[in-house]
Structure 1
Amino acid sequence: MQIQPQHASYEQIRDTAARLEEQGVDVLFNWDHFYPLYGEPDGLHFESWTMLAALAEQTSRVEIGALANCNSYRNANLQADMARTIDHISAKGGQGRFIFGTGSGWFERDYDEYGYGFGTVGTRLAALAANLPVIRERWTKLNPPPTRHIPILIGGGGEKKTLRIVAQHADIWHSYSDPATLERKLGILAGHGRAVGRDVSEVEISTEIGKRGIAEVEELHALGTTLFTIATTGPDYDTAGVADWLAWRDEKNSATRV
């Protein structure tokens, strides 16, 4: 579940996270923006990373992360250290539960209002590609190190650059693809994998359910999608349909075990 941190108080966000963990979801995401993406443009909004640290302390089972972090807003080494710290906060005697979801950034108002250079799609993607090795190297230098291999989730569907970065660095690839688009892009991702010398079958496929019906979600699952996301926004955080999708997940997992 992506709990969009807009148009709601922090108490509403916190209570929604608790309810969803109790209900049985596997991952809680927020997003990394400074203003609402839709609705009242100057409505209530909260920052991503500090919220993730709070959710790490509040929760005990779910994985947590941003869908997605904006690479442009923070120094690469700082991102690595923040991720490692939240990994430890979430561990509670075991392995951490943090997912490093990231992307190149796109919401121009964030850049303008907070003083970041917006650049171009190309320069932002180049910065992401340059920063990911720095982040991974910093994780090897931190004391204490992360409690586990922190999964890197990369969001986006650009075929020439983004999917090549996915092939090089991602543990999880997230997109909003329909089945036909996903099938085509998986072929492109496999080609990038061959080019960089990596078997991309080890990359988990993540896709937004959105308003898709069960037949289309079944198609996405058949293509290899194993992480499905549902977004909910403030102030009411409607989670009415979650139980049905959790039942579908449990049915699929039961069939796999058999």
Structure 2
Amino acid sequence: MRLSIWPGAGQPYGELVAAARHAGETGWDGVYVADHFMPNAGGVRLPDDPVLECGSLLAALGALVPRVRIGALVYGITYRHPAVLANMAATVDHITDGRFILGVGAGWQVNEHEQYGIELPPVKQRLDRFVEALRVLRGLLTQPTTTLDGEYYQLTDAYCEPKPVQDPLPILIGGSGEKRMLRIVAEHADAWNTWGRPDLIAHKMAVLDGHCAAVGRDPRSILRSAQALTVVDGPLPENMPMPVIGGSPGALADTIAQYRAIGLDELIVPDGFLGTGADRLKAMDTILGIVRG
């Protein structure tokens, strides 16, 4: 099972780079960055909650950190035109010499759309547009030219050069909706990601397998990754909206074994509860030791 770190983009740049470099130097497999412009704070923008921009960070990490995979969790299509994003992705793939993962999603965070005046359509329209965006991305990244007369995107003999180093560059889709989103994953994704503890991930994986069977896709051709807030040694936070694992090295080892048993391909660890500075690096080493056995 692969192991990747997800350093929060709300920390100082130097600290984020330090975590990514430590991952690269000690044997982790990947580094991911979220694509948001502010915390999910219900429309409130506070002066002490800065967030670094994802695309710029990925280019920097790709140049600074060798060996590991670099990816987004995930670019929001509502504010990233897919033709522009395709060019960004191809460039970062060259910067990393073929280590980039293009993570994309349909968009969801209300406050950043409201503050920037960016439309956040109803879910059905958002997913319809997302499917068109995936066609744009796949076309531009793999074909000499792409023409699309869609409802949301119109391209005429459009090209994206140079093409990525990877052929094809892997597209990761983030999402968990069982009826529509996991069907889109089955039809379009090279990799899939969502939040959840092992029991929920096992259920979602079974649903994804069903969609793969319906569209004639080998389910093993889609890499599956998941994450949960991670506590190495300490009390688990209460009333968290996101799943939390760990509390002690032993408890964390048990949960990691469960992820491995259900066939998860990659565990992604957000660094929000790992501490800072030397404490965070020590926690990362503990997690790495558990996963590698």
* Common topology (TM > 0.5): yes
Give the whole-Å Cα distance in 2 for the aligned partners of 1:236 and 1:37.
22
Unaligned runs of 5+ in 1: 252-258
| CA contact 2:253–2:290 (8 Å) conserved in 1 | no
Query: Judging changes above 3 Å, is the alpha-carbon distance between structure 1 residues 183 and 18 closer, same or farther for their aligned structure 2 residues?
Result: closer
Matched, 1:3 2:7: yes
Superposition deviation, residue 121 in structure 1: 2.2
More helix by share: 1
Q: Paired residue for 2:285? A: 243
| CA contact 2:141–2:169 (8 Å) conserved in 1 | no
Task: Please give the root-mean-square deviation of Cα atoms over the aligned residues, in Å.
Answer: 2.1
Q: Paired residue for 2:66? A: 60
Residue pairs, 1:176-215, within 5 angstroms? 176-211=195-230, 212=245, 213-215=252-254
Give the whole-Å Cα distance in 1 for the aligned partners of 2:290 and 2:110.
38
**SS of equivalent residue, structure 2 residue 83:** helix
Q: Paired residue for 2:236? A: none
Superposition deviation, residue 144 in structure 1: 2.1
Question: What amino acid is aligned across from residue 161 of structure 1 in structure 2?
Answer: R
Q: Give TM-score, length-normalised by structure 1.
A: 0.88
Question: What amino acid is aligned across from residue 19 of structure 1 in structure 2?
Answer: H
Q: How many residues end up aligned between the 2 structures?
A: 246
Give the whole-Å Cα distance in 2 for the aligned partners of 1:182 and 1:45.
29
Q: Paired residue for 2:249? A: none
Superposition deviation, residue 143 in structure 1: 2.6
| CA contact 1:86–1:98 (8 Å) conserved in 2 | yes
The worse-fitting range, judged by mean Cα deviation, of 212-221 and 71-80 is 212-221
Matched, 1:89 2:95: yes
| CA contact 1:72–1:104 (8 Å) conserved in 2 | yes
Query: Judging changes above 3 Å, is the alpha-carbon distance between structure 1 residues 19 and 180 closer, same or farther for their aligned structure 2 residues?
Result: closer
| CA contact 2:201–2:226 (8 Å) conserved in 1 | no
The worse-fitting range, judged by mean Cα deviation, of 125-134 and 81-90 is 125-134
Residue pairs, 1:68-147, within 5 angstroms? 68-91=74-97, 96-140=98-142, 141=144, 142-147=160-165
Q: Paired residue for 1:23? A: 26
| CA contact 1:35–1:41 (8 Å) conserved in 2 | no
Q: Give TM-score, length-normalised by structure 2.
A: 0.78
Query: Judging changes above 3 Å, is the alpha-carbon distance between structure 1 residues 88 and 183 closer, same or farther for their aligned structure 2 residues?
Result: same
**SS of equivalent residue, structure 2 residue 177:** coil
The worse-fitting range, judged by mean Cα deviation, of 39-48 and 153-162 is 39-48
Give the share of equivalent positions with the same residue, in percent.
33
